[in-house]
Amino acid sequence: MAYKPFDLTGKVALVTGGNGGIGFGMVEAMAQAGADIVIWGSNPDKNRAAEEKLKPTGVRVLTQVVNVADETAVADGMEAAVAQMGAVHTVVANAGIGGGAKSFSEFPTETYRKVLSVNLDGVFFTFREACKHMVARGGDGQGGSLVAISSLSALDGAARNQAYAATKGALIPMVRAIAVEHARYGVRANVILPGWVATDMTAAAQDNDKFNENVIKRVPMRRWGEPADFGGMAVYLASDASRFHTGDSFLIDGGYGVF
């Protein structure tokens, strides 16, 4: 007999940037566990492709074009998602962008502002709207689950990527503060810190022999991470199995950070 707390039937999970990479790896796992899915992505074609891939699971899927850096778009998107799906029980703030420079001294202010607007402001807006909804229906102690996707860069010294590292580091105290304030409403909040994962964002590094030799060979598991490696954690945090687990950070990096 399957362990029933992992069954997500009747729950709705919303994932920003859920049409590819780590986001889709989490979406696919939660759908297979029975959750209905809401995908926020800025590319309509990728949204449709992700929806098509989920058809075999038989769950309801809603895709929305939402720019998480746009405060109004986030508020409208969350309202529409709740209206169409009936509720949203889990929100994964996964949407993010990279953006570095040749050196910190040459870091363009425009790039800095753009990275912050998506990676930090976008999570703030998304979680704020999610909390409004979850608190409003949290009287039964089942308010919901919030999951932020940070990065190993929050802990490492990410040379020439100070803006990205700053946004990912800031997510940890933000989530802890949300967890403490909203626990009384049954709202849990946790952070996942991925290491080196094979996604579109890391495509250039994947094809770089020097990088693979100097970096990936240092990963104790001796490989790149894959989006599917995050599916189990997504199901756990969306499920009743984690109902007493909040304010935590999960480093999923094949052991790189402790080596």
Q: What is the mean pLDDT of the chain?
A: 95
Instruction: Supply the pLDDT for residue 161.
Output: 94
Q: Does the annotation count 151 as an active-site position?
A: yes
Instruction: Supply the pLDDT for residue 120.
Output: 98
Instruction: Say which residues have a Cβ less than 8 Å from residue 221's Cβ, sequence separation at least 6.
Output: 254, 255
**Does any domain span residue 236?**
yes
Query: SS in 3 state form for 185-218?
Result: HCEEEEEEEECCECCHHHHHHHCCHHHHHHCHHH
**Does any domain span residue 177?**
yes
Instruction: Supply the pLDDT for residue 140.
Output: 57
The catalytically annotated residue of 145, 168, 239, 256 is 168
**Both tokens of residue 247?**
């304010």
Residues 203-217 have a mean pLDDT of 91
**Does any domain span residue 259?**
no
The catalytically annotated residue of 46, 145, 164, 242 is 164
Please say whether the beta carbons of 182 and 143 come within 8 A.
yes
Domain count, the chain: 1
Q: Give the β-pairing of 144-149 and 187-194.
A: parallel
Burial 53-71 (b: 16+ CB within 10 A, else e): ebeebebebbbbebbbbee
Q: Using the predicted structure, report yes or no on whether residue 259 has a pLDDT greater than 90.
A: no
Lowest mean pLDDT among 82-86, 112-116, 206-210, 251-255: 206-210
3-state helix, strand, coil in the chain (%, to 5): 55, 15, 30
Q: Does the annotation count 168 as an active-site position?
A: yes
Instruction: Supply the pLDDT for residue 142.
Output: 72
**Does any domain span residue 135?**
yes
Residues 86-103 have a mean pLDDT of 96
**Does any domain span residue 199?**
yes
Helices then strands, each counted (H, E), the chain: 9, 7
Q: Give the β-pairing of 144-149 and 36-41.
A: unpaired
- Binned at pLDDT 50, 70 and 90, residue 141 comes out as low
**Does any domain span residue 88?**
yes
Q: Using the predicted structure, report yes or no on whether residue 139 has a pLDDT greater than 70.
A: no
* pTM for the structure as a whole: 0.96
Query: pLDDT, tens digit, for every residue of 157-202?
Result: 989 999 999 999 999 999 999 999 999 999 999 999 999 999 988 9
**Does any domain span residue 257?**
no
**Domain CATH for 74:** 3.40.50.720
Please say whether the beta carbons of 12 and 90 come within 8 A.
yes
Query: What percent of the chain lies above the pLDDT cut of 70?
Result: 98
Instruction: Supply the pLDDT for residue 194.
Output: 98
Question: Residue 206 sits in which domain range?
Answer: 4-252
Query: pLDDT, tens digit, for every residue of 223-253?
Result: 999 999 999 999 999 999 999 999 999 999 9
**Does any domain span residue 105?**
yes
Please say whether the beta carbons of 144 and 82 come within 8 A.
no
Q: Does the annotation count 3 as an active-site position?
A: no
Span between the terminal Cα atoms of the chain, in Å: 38
